[in-house]
Amino acid sequence: ACLCPVFSFGENDIWEQADNPEGSKVWKFQKTLQKLSGWTMPLFHGRGVFNYDVGLLPHRRPITTVVGKPIEVKKIENPTEEDLLEVQKKYIDELYNIWNTHKDKYAKNRVSELTLIE
Protein backbone atom coordinates (compact mmCIF):
# COMPACT_ATOMS: atom_id res chain seq x y z
CA ALA A 1 0.00 0.00 0.00
CA CYS A 2 1.04 3.59 -0.52
CA LEU A 3 0.97 6.52 1.88
CA CYS A 4 0.29 9.85 0.15
CA PRO A 5 1.59 13.03 1.80
CA VAL A 6 -0.91 15.88 1.46
CA PHE A 7 -0.45 19.56 2.28
CA SER A 8 -3.22 22.17 2.21
CA PHE A 9 -2.15 25.77 1.69
CA GLY A 10 -4.46 28.39 3.19
CA GLU A 11 -5.99 26.38 6.03
CA ASN A 12 -4.59 28.80 8.61
CA ASP A 13 -6.27 31.72 6.82
CA ILE A 14 -9.89 30.65 7.32
CA TRP A 15 -9.94 31.63 11.02
CA GLU A 16 -8.70 34.68 12.90
CA GLN A 17 -7.14 34.25 16.32
CA ALA A 18 -7.70 36.76 19.11
CA ASP A 19 -4.61 38.57 20.32
CA ASN A 20 -3.43 37.15 23.61
CA PRO A 21 -0.15 38.74 24.60
CA GLU A 22 1.52 37.36 27.70
CA GLY A 23 -0.22 38.70 30.81
CA SER A 24 -3.54 39.47 29.10
CA LYS A 25 -6.84 38.10 30.43
CA VAL A 26 -7.10 35.68 27.50
CA TRP A 27 -3.53 34.47 28.08
CA LYS A 28 -4.18 33.96 31.82
CA PHE A 29 -7.39 32.05 31.09
CA GLN A 30 -5.62 29.81 28.58
CA LYS A 31 -2.73 29.12 30.98
CA THR A 32 -5.18 28.23 33.77
CA LEU A 33 -7.08 25.90 31.46
CA GLN A 34 -3.79 24.34 30.36
CA LYS A 35 -2.74 23.70 33.98
CA LEU A 36 -6.11 22.14 34.86
CA SER A 37 -6.64 20.01 31.77
CA GLY A 38 -3.23 19.70 30.12
CA TRP A 39 -4.35 21.51 26.95
CA THR A 40 -5.89 24.76 25.84
CA MET A 41 -7.75 26.05 22.82
CA PRO A 42 -7.01 29.29 21.00
CA LEU A 43 -9.71 31.95 21.05
CA PHE A 44 -10.71 32.18 17.39
CA HIS A 45 -13.46 33.52 15.18
CA GLY A 46 -14.51 33.44 11.59
CA ARG A 47 -17.47 35.09 9.91
CA GLY A 48 -21.17 35.09 10.64
CA VAL A 49 -24.12 34.07 8.52
CA PHE A 50 -25.25 37.64 7.84
CA ASN A 51 -22.02 39.51 8.60
CA TYR A 52 -18.42 38.98 7.71
CA ASP A 53 -16.76 40.30 10.86
CA VAL A 54 -17.52 37.88 13.67
CA GLY A 55 -18.95 34.39 13.80
CA LEU A 56 -18.16 30.72 13.95
CA LEU A 57 -18.21 29.96 10.23
CA PRO A 58 -14.84 29.88 8.45
CA HIS A 59 -13.90 32.85 6.28
CA ARG A 60 -14.35 32.29 2.56
CA ARG A 61 -10.72 32.05 1.58
CA PRO A 62 -9.05 29.67 -0.86
CA ILE A 63 -7.50 26.41 0.30
CA THR A 64 -5.28 24.62 -2.20
CA THR A 65 -4.47 20.99 -1.49
CA VAL A 66 -1.36 19.46 -3.06
CA VAL A 67 -0.81 15.70 -3.08
CA GLY A 68 2.82 14.60 -2.95
CA LYS A 69 4.57 11.54 -4.29
CA PRO A 70 3.17 8.26 -2.91
CA ILE A 71 5.39 6.46 -0.44
CA GLU A 72 5.52 2.70 -0.78
CA VAL A 73 4.94 1.10 2.63
CA LYS A 74 5.75 -2.57 3.05
CA LYS A 75 3.45 -4.66 5.21
CA ILE A 76 5.39 -5.64 8.32
CA GLU A 77 3.61 -7.76 10.93
CA ASN A 78 5.60 -6.38 13.87
CA PRO A 79 7.28 -3.16 12.78
CA THR A 80 10.14 -1.86 14.85
CA GLU A 81 10.42 1.75 15.87
CA GLU A 82 13.17 2.06 13.27
CA ASP A 83 10.73 0.87 10.57
CA LEU A 84 8.18 3.47 11.65
CA LEU A 85 10.74 6.27 11.83
CA GLU A 86 11.95 5.43 8.32
CA VAL A 87 8.45 5.86 6.87
CA GLN A 88 7.86 8.96 8.99
CA LYS A 89 11.06 10.56 7.67
CA LYS A 90 10.04 9.89 4.06
CA TYR A 91 6.61 11.41 4.77
CA ILE A 92 8.04 14.53 6.43
CA ASP A 93 10.65 14.94 3.68
CA GLU A 94 7.86 14.87 1.08
CA LEU A 95 5.82 17.43 3.07
CA TYR A 96 8.82 19.77 2.99
CA ASN A 97 9.23 19.05 -0.72
CA ILE A 98 5.58 20.02 -1.35
CA TRP A 99 6.04 23.19 0.72
CA ASN A 100 9.28 24.26 -0.96
CA THR A 101 7.93 23.56 -4.44
CA HIS A 102 4.61 25.38 -4.06
CA LYS A 103 5.04 27.99 -1.28
CA ASP A 104 5.75 30.90 -3.64
CA LYS A 105 2.57 30.18 -5.58
CA TYR A 106 0.11 29.32 -2.80
CA ALA A 107 1.64 31.01 0.28
CA LYS A 108 2.84 34.30 -1.20
CA ASN A 109 2.07 36.36 1.92
CA ARG A 110 3.49 33.90 4.43
CA VAL A 111 5.03 35.31 7.57
CA SER A 112 7.16 32.25 8.32
CA GLU A 113 8.44 29.04 6.81
CA LEU A 114 7.07 25.56 7.43
CA THR A 115 8.13 24.19 10.82
CA LEU A 116 7.07 20.76 12.03
CA ILE A 117 7.22 20.15 15.77
CA GLU A 118 7.18 16.89 17.70
Q: What is the pLDDT of residues 72-89, one digit of tens each?
A: 999 999 999 999 999 999
Domain of 6, in residue numbers: 2-106
112 assigned to some structural domain:
no
17 assigned to some structural domain:
yes
117 assigned to some structural domain:
no
Pairing of strands 64-67, 6-9: antiparallel
9 assigned to some structural domain:
yes
115 assigned to some structural domain:
no
Asked if 5 contacts 89 with a C-beta cutoff of 8 angstroms, the reply is no
58 assigned to some structural domain:
yes
What tens digit of pLDDT does each residue of 17-54 get?
888 899 999 899 999 999 999 998 888 899 999 887 88
Nearest residue to 12 (alpha-carbon basis) of 93, 110, 108 = 110
111 assigned to some structural domain:
no
Cross-strand partners of 96: none
Distance between CA atoms of residues 56 and 13, nearest Å: 14
Name every residue whose Cβ is closer than 8 Å to that of residue 9 and which is 6 or more positions away in sequence. 63, 64, 65, 66, 102, 103, 106, 107
Q: Amino acid letter at 86? A: E
C-beta neighbour count of 9 within 10 angstroms: 20
Number of domains into which the chain is organized: 1
Q: Look at residue 20 in the predicted model and tell me its pLDDT.
A: 85
> Computed over its alpha carbons, how large is the radius of gyration of the chain?
19
- At residue 90, the 3 state secondary structure works out as helix
